[in-house]
């Protein structure tokens, strides 16, 4: 089954190419804000809307008249309008915020819809209207390139390639696991394993504080302040990359070892409203972790299930008794029937038990008659002759 996989490489542009990237980025941001203003004015003054196709025709006319916009690839400009209409869809259909004008610091990429070629033997990527750009080759690229985005980060320029490829599923495993994410332990499994929280932000706390103070002492608008701010941005990028690497390695391990994975459907945006825990929750990156589990499960033929988190910590997984007096500080408790429970392990088992009926029904026919006991492991095997 064909899947979309993303590759990311750091570019090594020449000075002229880097200037072209910056110019294209500024042009795309200008076009985005121009399209947004046009849509808003059209609705405010005439109560009318404009479709995507008509907007792209307007962009073509503008590109012919304005030279510094016309130098941008036509399909890159079309993708700018696609972003705007996607933002409107998010507002009307998903309850997200109304589209806003893009600041220079927030608009950091432009995209080619087609025409990008990769030359792995020379470690270069062919970008239409820009030419061949060298890149740091960290891995081989498989599949056909569908889209390519040039992204500006604190430490330079990157290219992100979205490739369509056939990913072979992993051999069937024999375990169903429930995962309970937390702060003290990053994740606890229904098998009783606990993964320590690396606390990436805390590890770089003193460096971040030192650089942040350096930025604050510099005069606003000065070149020294820009240099210090860039240094701070690079340090934050390092924290982000370290966290992402940890998530990738851990999710890959869970995907390889388990046939089905069950997690809580957490509302992180509401949880961070607790100001005592907001920093720790944001540093843990639960959303990114769950997102990786979800798409890797789809890639490799695993089952992934989200369940409601109600009472997973309060219900005894053995007898079902509910402890309504359980506090956040209670890490271990005993139910009315005498079962002593670790809070996180108990929650992980309840999460697995909530999702096991949904996950097993979807794939148990593909595991050659394997049956499972209450712990989510193999109980017995039956093979047809």
The verdict on residue 218 lying in a domain is no
* CA 74/CA 56 separation, integer angstroms: 9
Same domain, 189 and 336: yes
Residue 238: inside a domain, yes or no? no
Domain that holds residue 7: 2-166
Which of the following is catalytic: 79, 303, 315, 344? Answer: 344
Say yes or no: 155 and 73 in one domain. Answer: yes
Does residue 155 share a domain with residue 33? Answer: yes
Same domain, 48 and 127: yes
229 domain residue, yes or no? no
pTM of the model: 0.84
**Residues 16 and 154 grouped into a single domain:** yes
Establish whether 82 is a catalytic residue.
no
182 and 308 part of one domain: yes
Question: 342 catalytic, yes or no?
Answer: no
Is 264 a residue of the active site?
yes
Q: With contact defined as beta carbons under 8 Å apart, do 73 and 112 qualify?
A: yes
Decide which of 127, 144, 166 is a domain's last residue. 166
Residue by residue, pLDDT tens for the chain (385 residues) are 688 999 999 999 999 999 999 999 999 999 999 999 999 999 999 999 999 899 988 888 888 888 899 899 999 999 999 999 999 999 999 889 999 999 998 899 999 999 999 999 999 999 999 999 999 999 999 999 999 999 999 999 999 999 999 988 999 988 999 999 999 999 999 999 999 999 999 999 999 999 999 999 999 999 999 999 999 999 999 999 999 999 999 999 999 999 999 999 988 887 888 888 899 989 999 999 999 999 999 999 999 999 998 899 889 998 889 998 888 888 898 998 899 899 999 999 999 998 886 544 444 444 433 333 444 443 433 333 2
CA end-to-end span of the chain: 29
| Number of independent structural domains in the chain | 2
Is 40 contained in some domain?
yes
Same domain, yes or no, for 70 and 26? yes
Q: Which of 79, 264, 303, 315 is flagged as catalytic?
A: 264
The catalytic position among 180, 196, 294, 342 is: 180
Residues 8 and 146 in one domain: yes
Q: Are residues 17 and 158 in the same domain?
A: yes
């Amino acid at each position: 089954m064909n899947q979309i996989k993303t590759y990311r490489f750091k570019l090594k542009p020449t000075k002229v190419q880097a200037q072209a990237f910056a110019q294209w980025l500024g042009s795309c941001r200008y076009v985005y804000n121009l399209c947004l203003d046009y849509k808003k004015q059209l609705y405010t003054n005439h109560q009318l809307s404009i479709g995507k196709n008509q907007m792209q025709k307007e962009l073509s006319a503008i590109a012919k008249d304005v030279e510094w916009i016309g130098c941008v690839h036509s399909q890159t400009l079309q993708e700018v309008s696609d972003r705007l209409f996607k933002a409107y869809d998010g507002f009307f259909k998903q309850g997200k915020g109304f589209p806003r004008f893009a600041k220079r610091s927030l608009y950091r990429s432009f995209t080619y819809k087609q025409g990008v070629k990769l030359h792995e033997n020379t470690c270069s990527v062919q970008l239409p209207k820009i030419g061949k750009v060298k890149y740091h080759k960290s891995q081989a690229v498989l599949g056909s390139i569908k889209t390519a985005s040039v992204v500006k980060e604190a430490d330079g320029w990157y290219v992100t390639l979205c490739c369509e490829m056939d990913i072979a599923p992993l051999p069937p495993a024999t375990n169903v696991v429930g995962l309970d994410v937390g702060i003290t332990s990053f994740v606890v499994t229904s098998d009783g394993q606990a993964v320590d929280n690396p606390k990436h932000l805390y590890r770089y706390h003193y460096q971040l504080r030192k650089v942040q103070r350096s930025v604050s002492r510099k005069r606003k608008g000065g070149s020294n302040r820009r240099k210090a701010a860039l240094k701070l941005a690079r340090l934050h990028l390092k924290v982000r990359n370290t966290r992402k690497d940890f998530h990738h390695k851990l999710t890959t391990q869970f995907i390889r070892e388990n046939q089905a994975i069950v997690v809580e459907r957490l509302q992180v945006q509401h949880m961070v409203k607790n100001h005592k825990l907001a920093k720790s929750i944001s540093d843990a990156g639960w959303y990114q972790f769950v997102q990786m589990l979800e798409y890797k499960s789809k890639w490799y033929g695993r089952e992934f299930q989200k369940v409601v988190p109600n009472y997973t910590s309060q219900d005894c997984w053995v007898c079902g008794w509910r402890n309504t007096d359980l506090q956040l500080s209670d890490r271990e408790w005993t139910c009315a029937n005498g079962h002593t429970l670790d809070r996180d392990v108990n929650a992980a088992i309840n999460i697995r038990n909530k999702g096991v009926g949904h996950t097993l029904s979807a794939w148990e026919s593909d595991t050659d008659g394997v049956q499972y006991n209450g712990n989510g492991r193999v109980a017995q095997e039956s093979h047809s002759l």
